[in-house]
Every structure is written in C-alpha cells, then in structure tokens.
C-alpha cells in the first residue's frame, strides 16, 4: 500500500471511529463501505486543481432513497452564514434560504413532506467529505459545477439552480472601479473554493499584483474585509450580495461590474447512486417546469383534473413517472404545493421583497432569454 492510500485509509477509519463514538448505526455502516472504496483511489488523481479538496471515490453501492425512508428525513449539506441562500434566521432559529428550499423540495419529492429534512451546515472545506462519507444525502450549498469536482470527488452534479459568476467588492470611498484598480492590494478570499483559484488565474492573466488573505469560513473572510484588513473581498456575486447586508455599513461598499468566472451553482449527489441522483435532478426540473407552465403553490389545485397531458404528467394524474424513481406519482405535485415553483423559491429568498432584490438575469426561463430549461415530463 503506498503512502497516499495508507493516509486516506487511516483518516477514513478515524472518521468511522468518530461516528461510532457519536452513535448512529446507519452512519457507521455507510462509512464502513466507504473505507473499502476510498483505498481504491489511484495516487495520481488526488490533485483536483482546487485548493482544499480531498479526492475520494464514493460508494458505488447504497440506496440513498431507502436510507432516507428508513431515517424519515433527508439530510442536506448546507450553509449557515449566507443570508438568502443558507442561513439561520436569528428570530426563528430556523434554516432559511434558496438552497434550503431546494432541500425542502427534495424532502417533499422523496418523503411527501417538505418539513422532513435536516441541515448539516458545512464550510467550503468540509462539504465534499461529508457527502463522500454518507453523512449527508445531498449537498445543496452554492457549489460550483466543475469538471474536476464532477469526476474526482465522487460526486454527481444535478441541474444548476443558480447561474452565477465571481465578483469583487471594494469600498466606495476607495475610488476603485475595476480589478486593475486593485494593483498591489490585498484581497480577502475563502479557502476550499473555486474563488481562490479564479482570483489567482484572473489576476495573473491581467498582470495585476495582489496579496490574498485567506480564511476558512465566510464570517471570518467578511469580518476581515469589514475591519479594513483587505482592499477587496471576492466570492460569487450572489455571495457578495448576501455578505454585503452583514457589513457594518452595507452602503459604503460596491460590487464591481466585472465578472471573473462562470459559477454554475447546484446540488450534488454521490456518484454511483443514480436513482437518488435522478430524484434530485427531476425535483429541480419540477420547479423549472412548474414555473414555465404557470403552476405555483397557490394555484396548483386548480390544475388538477384538467385535460392537458403535459400538466397531467407533471402532477402525476396520468402516466407513471414517479414509479421510475421509486416515488409516488404525485411527487412533483407535492414539491409545487409544499415548496413552490422556481420563481416562488427565488422571489421568497432573493426577490424584490427581500433585502437582496436580485435580478433574475441568467436565472430566467429559457422562454424569457434565460438558461432554465427542463427536459420534458413524459
Ligand atoms: N461557488 C464557490 C464558492 C462557494 C463558497 O463556499 N462560498 C463561500 C463564501 S459566500 C461560502 O459559502 N462560505 C460559507 C461558510 O464558509 O460558512 C465554490 O463552489 O467553491
């Protein structure tokens, strides 16, 4: 066994021991399977090209739907410090946000109950290991779909729920209006993200010298910028809009127009459990399709009993589309009724009545010039 295999094996066994110590028989069994798979990783494939990411192959076996049914809840990896996306509302102590609503949607599809979910908050560095180990069923946490993540982290990306790009925030009174204005400056950035690598690539390509100031979670990164430790603060533009409201003086900052990268954000399931992947994929598509057809949580019941075959299929009144995934045929009806269509999810968390008032941009229906496009429900 080479050194890399050995180290991965030792850390996997440690995780297994930790889980035994914490109790929970189902988790322990899952991790035991993982150990067998992890040692098969070839040493050559451990560099994902992203800092802070650990390569590991997932369990090819496993039936996440059955695990979820036995447990009675869907466990989602999420965020706790990104308002609008994944955040603990201090008034209610509940998780809220766009990503959290997609977790609820998966629970509605898989269990018929949008409240049957749990959130495991994760930092950027933690998110892939908790998916790989089986601690969570699905990761829904502003995670960018990249080739290396898709092929080297034992994960399968499901449809993009939010098309984003990396941005840069600066203080208004700095007078900086473009990335070039940051020449010789310091930039606050979070580790374990695409952000960190894009920053280096874009600044190198443009010949801009800078010093990264790196932190391992969102709060520390924002606080460092807010306290004046950095001239710029970079992450996904959605993340910047979200973090801006937490700054001491939100209006004293501006997000530059430049977009430094493509950041398609969406859910991830474990590679190898294709049925569970299908469930998450079609749950997202259900929210797209419902919006396209004008069906939402408030009017869905008025569509029942109609004679449009497209609607009948979507709501499970005709055909057998749920059965192919091991679900009841009304799974998408439950998603729409209990959580809503894509526009409802977007507006509830990011729309005009929220502090973010984020324009839909690329996140519009394909019929409105955006990128949201569900394959047919037939
Ligand atoms: N989309 C990028 C960045 C995602 C990311 O982790 N963003 C940070 C900054 S907004 C975050 O969510 N941090 C939350 C935390 O660490 O608690 C990626 O997938 O790497």
pLDDT digits 0-9 by tens, 42-64? 222 233 444 456 555 544 447 99
In short, whether 143's Cβ falls inside 6 Å of ligand 1 is yes
In short, whether 67's Cβ falls inside 6 Å of ligand 1 is no
What pLDDT score was predicted for residue 30?
A: 27
Q: Both tokens of residue 341?
A: 């269509």
Write down the mean pLDDT value for the chain: 87
pLDDT band at 17 (very low <50, low <70, confident <90, very high): very low
In short, whether 218's Cβ falls inside 6 Å of ligand 1 is yes
224: CA distance to ligand 1 center in Å? Answer: 16
Per-residue DSSP letters for 30-57? HHHHHHHHHTT--GGG---SSTT-----
The set of residues, in sequence order, having a beta carbon less than 8 Å from that of 130 and lying 6+ positions away, is 77, 120, 122, 136, 139
Q: How far apart are CA 150 and CA 276, in angstroms?
A: 16
Angle at 196 between CA 195 and CA 202, to 5 degrees: 80
Which atom of ligand 1 is the closest one to the Cα of 85? 12
Q: Both tokens of residue 264?
A: 């398609």
* pTM for the full predicted model: 0.86
Per DSSP, the three-state class of 159 is coil
Q: How far apart are CA 230 and CA 244, in angstroms?
A: 15
355: CA distance to ligand 1 center in Å? Answer: 20
Which atom of ligand 1 is the closest one to the Cα of 193? 20
Structure-token match 């019929």, residue found? 367
The set of residues, in sequence order, having a beta carbon less than 8 Å from that of 223 and lying 6+ positions away, is none
17: CA distance to ligand 1 center in Å? Answer: 29
**How far apart, in Å, are the Cα atoms of 60 and each of 132, 165, 194?**
11, 32, 26
Which atom of ligand 1 is the closest one to the Cα of 240? 10
Percentage, residues of the chain above pLDDT 90: 84
> Looking at the predicted structure, is the pLDDT value of residue 260 above 50?
yes
> Looking at the predicted structure, is the pLDDT value of residue 33 above 60?
no
What pLDDT score was predicted for residue 62?
A: 75
């Amino acid at each position: 066994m080479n050194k890399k295999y050995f180290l991965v094996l030792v850390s996997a066994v440690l995780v297994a021991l930790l889980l035994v110590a914490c109790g929970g028989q189902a988790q322990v069994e899952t991790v035991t399977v993982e150990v067998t798979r992890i040692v098969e990783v070839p040493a050559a494939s451990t560099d994902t090209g992203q800092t802070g990411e650990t390569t590991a192959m997932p369990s090819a076996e496993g039936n996440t739907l059955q695990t979820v049914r036995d447990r009675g809840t869907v466990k989602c990896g999420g965020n706790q410090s990104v308002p609008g996306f994944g955040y603990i509302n201090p008034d209610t102590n509940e998780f809220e946000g766009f990503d959290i609503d997609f977790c609820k949607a998966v629970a509605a599809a898989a269990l018929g109950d949008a409240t049957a979910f749990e959130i495991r908050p994760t930092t950027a560095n933690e998110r892939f290991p908790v998916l790989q180990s089986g601690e969570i069923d699905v990761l829904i946490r502003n995670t960018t779909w990249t080739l290396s993540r898709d092929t080297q982290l034992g994960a399968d990306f499901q449809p993009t729920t939010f098309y984003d790009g990396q941005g840069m925030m600066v203080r208004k009174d700095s007078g900086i209006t473009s990335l070039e204005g940051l020449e010789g400056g310091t930039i606050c950035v979070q580790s374990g993200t695409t952000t960190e690598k894009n920053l280096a690539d874009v600044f190198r390509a443009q010949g801009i010298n800078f010093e990264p100031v790196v932190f391992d979670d969102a709060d520390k990164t924002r606080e460092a910028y807010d306290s004046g430790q950095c001239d710029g603060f970079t992450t996904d533009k959605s993340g910047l809009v979200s973090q801006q409201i937490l700054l001491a003086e939100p209006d004293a900052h501006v997000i530059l127009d430049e977009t430094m990268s493509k950041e398609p954000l969406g859910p991830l399931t474990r590679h190898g459990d294709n049925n569970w992947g299908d469930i998450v994929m079609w749950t997202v598509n259900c929210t797209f399709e419902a919006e396209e057809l004008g069906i939402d949580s408030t009017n869905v019941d008025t569509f029942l009993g109609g004679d449009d075959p497209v609607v009948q299929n979507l709501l499970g009144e005709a055909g057998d589309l749920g059965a192919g995934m091991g679900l009841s045929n009304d799974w998408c009806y439950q998603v729409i009724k209990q959580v809503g269509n894509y526009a409802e999810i977007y507006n509830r968390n990011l729309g005009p009545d929220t502090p973010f008032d984020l324009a839909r941009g690329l996140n519009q229906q394909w019929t409105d010039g955006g990128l949201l496009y569900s394959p047919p429900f037939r």
